[in-house]
Amino acid sequence: MIKHKFFKKISCFSAVCVSTLFLSSCSFDNCNTDYTDTSDTNTGEATTPIEDVVIDEEDTYTEIDEENENIIFLNGASIYYSGINAQVNGSTITIKNAGEFYITGTLTNGQIIVDAESVDEVKLYLNGVNINCSSSAPINIKKAKKVTISLEENTENILTDGASYVYDDADEEEPNATLFSKADLTINGKGKLTVNANFNNAIRSKDALVITGGDFVINSADDGIIGKDSLIISNAVFDITAGGDVRR
């Protein structure tokens, strides 16, 4: 069991271009200087220098549109939805199109699924969300161009999975993380996110993963944070307990 606690604001960027870099290799406890990994253990090639890493303005927090009509209220074993871009089936809601979605409430055993078009950008605003899913990822992003999850200020949000999964894709063994994404994923905001990963990984993106804010508590059976294509972290706070790698 690996446990890393670092409560200081991360003022540096962490640009990770290889999947084998461990968090323990970065001195985040004294992270008042820029850090980047400079070697690729797979190819021997240099990764992106820190001075070349730029966070897009769209990856920083923006308030939800006041005219937003996509409201998702999680109510135990059911979901109430006001809008036209998603479908509810019992305790599962599937977002099918681009848009901003305001989400609040508790699901005792359910899912939020994003299965949009490859050109769609989806924003999820979490405002006091507690989602439990016993057999899969509480938030499962199957398809989109990009998904942004914003943690609303002064809110606590919790994602918890079970000890075993029923895979959507058995050949690929996916999803395999409590917060799982097959699209570019950004997490921002000033709220808190607790991820209890009882099965495998906690937060995993199979594309780029950008974190530009938030207070994170992660308890993971395996890896804590994974960004396959890249991982950029700025201005976030973490408390991670992981059975595998804290970050890779």
Residue 21, φ and ψ in degrees, nearest 5: -80, 125
pTM, full prediction: 0.83
Q: Report cis status (omega within 30 of 0) of the bond before 175.
A: yes
Q: Contact at 8 Å (CB) between 156 and 128?
A: yes
Q: Contact at 8 Å (CB) between 138 and 112?
A: yes
What DSSP character marks residue 63? P
Lookup result for tokens 């069991």: 1
3-state secondary structure of 128: strand
- Mention every residue, 6+ apart, whose C-beta is less than 8 A from residue 247: 14, 16, 21, 22, 23, 223, 224, 225, 226, 231, 240
Domain map (residue ranges) of the chain = 2-53+65-242
Per-residue pLDDT of the chain (248 residues; tens, 9 = 90+): 555 443 333 333 444 332 223 333 232 332 332 333 333 434 444 455 555 677 899 999 999 998 999 999 999 999 999 999 999 999 999 999 999 999 999 999 999 999 999 999 999 999 999 999 999 999 999 999 999 999 999 999 999 999 999 999 999 999 999 999 999 999 999 999 999 999 999 999 999 999 999 999 999 999 999 999 999 999 999 999 999 888 76
